[in-house]
Every structure is written in C-alpha cells, then in structure tokens.
Structure 1
Amino acid sequence: MKSNNKDNPIDIRPFGYAISLINGKWKMHILFWILHEDILRYNELKRRLGNVSYKMLSNQLKELEADGVIFRNEYPQIPPKVEYSLTELGISLMPILDALCAWGHEHVPDDWELK
C-alpha cells in the first residue's frame, strides 16, 4: 500500500480524523465497556475502569460526546442520573475495536498484566 508517487500525495486527513476520535488514554477503554454493556452510568463506568480519575473520565467522556461517538442522556431527577451509550458513529468504530481485541487475544503474553 506504499505510494512514492509525488504526483499523488498521500491524504493523511482520514487517518488523522479516525485517530483523533480514539486518541486519549481512556477513550478506547470507555468504548470497550460501553460496547459490552450497551448503556452505562458514570459511576458504573468509573468502577469498571478502576484507576481513572474523576476529572480524566469526565474530560474523556466530554470529548467523545463532542465528537459524536457517544450519547449522553441526562435524566432530570435528584440525584442526577446520566447514562452513556454509543451513537451510530460510535457503533461504526466497533469493528476496529473488535479487530484490536482479536489481535490482543492472539498476541498477549501469558505473564502480561493490565496496569
């Protein structure tokens, strides 16, 4: 897939756009859990992610929402209830996430631990 043709430069924009949607320490983890649970509340997501700070999780969720990857549904009640789910754009990213998971299953060393 290499192209050294100087008359036909490589368009990096599609790759850059795709990476911008998932670029962030926790975004892929967030998408993984929402994919597997369909709908997650903030605290459920926080529990599944573990070491993520509240501020980092909030920022990553805001970015995913702003990019149209996830949907934030806020219910007007006390205490506040907020649920997150995938948008159509987010769902369209899932074959890529599935491919990464399949690759990981094939190549993860036996002694590797999630940090």
Structure 2
Amino acid sequence: MKSVLLLSLGILLLSDGCKQDLAPACPNAGALAGQATQLLGTVYYDRARGSYGIQVATSMDSADMGLTCNLPAEYQKELTKVRFSGTYYADEQSTGGPVGYRYYYLSISSIATP
C-alpha cells in the first residue's frame, strides 16, 4: 500500500512538472526554441523589423536577440538593462544581422530592472 501511494505521488508530481505557464507565442513565430529564465539583457530597437528586442550576450562577439511581441511600454527605451524570463521561438525570417548573432521571437512572461 505504501509503495502504491509513493508511486501515485511520484506520477502526480511528474505530470504537474510537465505543465508550463508560457506566455502566448508571438505572431509569425516558428517552433519553440527555448526558455529564458531570469536572464540579464539590454533593450534595443530593430529598425529593420520595427520591433523592440532584448539582446543577451553569449560571448564577447556574439549574442541572442529576442524580438519581443509583448514588451511593456515602460521598458521600450533603448539601452535599458532588464532581467527577464520568457519563451524563445524560432525566427524564420531572420534579417541576417552581425555574424555570431542569433535572432528569435521572444514572448516575455516576467521583466524587471536589475
């Protein structure tokens, strides 16, 4: 009986752990590409796309740029440092930015200034 209870509890915990409270996908976004959890980034405006993005350095000369679809108005200022969480989606129409940069769509679930 004890093992049945432990097994049931384990299954319940595992199935609950699979649920994700994701922000809605951005329009025109591709497949799920990854999660951002409390990353530090900088807000930029992509004039070619007409969209704000959050850039996260991945090395000295490369970065991931998440083109946001739901950046709150109070953070829509270039060079603002932010700490955010959200979901990255594939960007099927990348503009071919600088070498070493990867572009994604980013649906933000939480954001704050560091």
* TM-score bracket for the superposition, by shorter chain length: under 0.3
Structure with greater contact order relative to length (CA < 8 Å, sep ≥ 6): 2
TM-score norm. by structure 1 comes to 0.27
TM-score norm. by structure 2 comes to 0.28
Higher share of residues assigned helix: 1
Higher share of residues assigned strand: 2
